[in-house]
A and B are shown apart, each in its own frame.
Chain A
Amino acid sequence: RKEVEQDPGPFNVPEGATVAFNCTYSNSASQSFFWYRQDCRKEPKLLMSVYSSGNEDGRFTAQLNRASQYISLLIRDSKLSDSATYLCVVIPSNTGKLIFGQGTTLQVKP
């Protein structure tokens, strides 16, 4: 089983749609969770951290379910500029080692 698994997509959605991505992780001792965004042929950039209580940043909502070992990212009112690959990142307990998922590709169409 992969350490971090994501549906690679692509997800093709119209502008204004709501889209959700899930990510599962295998190490139950994982401590920190993030979503990174990677535009085509660019480097990954941190989108948001994922907290146990769930957190929201504008149109983006991240949630963590420790019991089921998955995290999710919800994007509301999709914009064309949201088109990118979204990388789920998990950090095992007490290390700085980032474990990346394969990424989920989102394409927002006009």
Chain B
Amino acid sequence: ETGVTQTPRHLVMGMTNKKSLKCEQHLGHNAMYWYKQSAKKPLELMFVYSLEERVENNSVPSRFSPECPNSSHLFLHLHTLQPEDSALYLCASSRGDRTGYEQYFGPGTRLTVT
């Protein structure tokens, strides 16, 4: 176990639905990340939070809205998604957001938008 949990593990939603992905880390880390992994494409960094402050928003559409209420929890709120948003969404955490820190990934949420 990596110490990073994600719920739900699988999610099917319609384009008009609103849902949220949850990530929790039990490692005492200060930085948390959301990544998107689509088939046949590299992992794409979406958001970075360091000490609960968003430090990076990698040109992600506004239909994805992150929330970091504390250093252990990270949410990704979803609304009016498109079918091309179907992917594996991975959460990760690390001791800090600077170079050299290993990132630990959660198991991911496999999202299908219908």
Q: Show the binding face of A for B, using Cβ within 8 Å.
A: 2, 4, 8, 31-32, 34, 42-46, 87, 91, 93-103
Contacts and interface: CB of A to CB of B under 8 A. Distances in A.
A66 B86 CA distance: 37
B98 A94 contact: yes
B51 to A, nearest CB: 13
B45 A98 contact: yes
Interface of B: 2, 31, 40-45, 48, 56, 90, 94, 96-103, 105-108
Contact of A45 (B2, B45, B99, B101): B2
A42 B107 contact: yes
- Dominant SS at the A interface? loop
A100 B106 CA distance: 16
A88 to B, nearest CB: 9
A97 B42 contact: no
